[in-house]
Amino acid sequence: MDFADLQARLQQFADERDWNRFHSPKNLAMALSVEAAELVEIFQWLTEDESRRLNDVQKGAAADEVADVLIYLARFAAMAGIDVDAAVASKLARNAVKYPVRR
């Protein structure tokens, strides 16, 4: 699924539930932060090696949180009027200048 399709599906989901009144950029940014923290919580007490070898329960929990983060990020971008494709392209271009490949 592409990002624009995801945003359209999320908009429909919110419309059907009358959630748009709750989806201000402020609220969505806060919710995104909470979901990112929930992802971090899965790894909180793991060693570096353990974090690379998640069991099925941990991997399932991480997948759920990744989905939540992406959902809130997509909604935030839509409600804040941010073109994600353009933002990513611009950021990658700036990062290429800031962090050039050294050979």
d(Cα 75, Cα 65) in Å, to the nearest integer?
A: 15
Is 0.85 surpassed by the pTM of this model?
yes
For residue 72, the number of C-alpha atoms closer than 13 Å in the C-beta half-sphere is 20
d(Cα 43, Cα 1) in Å, to the nearest integer?
A: 28
Quote the pLDDT of residue 1. Answer: 80
The set of residues, in sequence order, having a beta carbon less than 8 Å from that of 51 and lying 6+ positions away, is 43
Q: What is the mean pLDDT of residues 5-23?
A: 97
pLDDT tens digit string along 26-46?
A: 999 999 999 999 999 999 999
Which domains are seen in the chain, by residue range? 3-98 (1.10.287.1080)
N residues, the chain: 103
* Position 77 confidence tier, pLDDT thresholds 50, 70, 90: very high
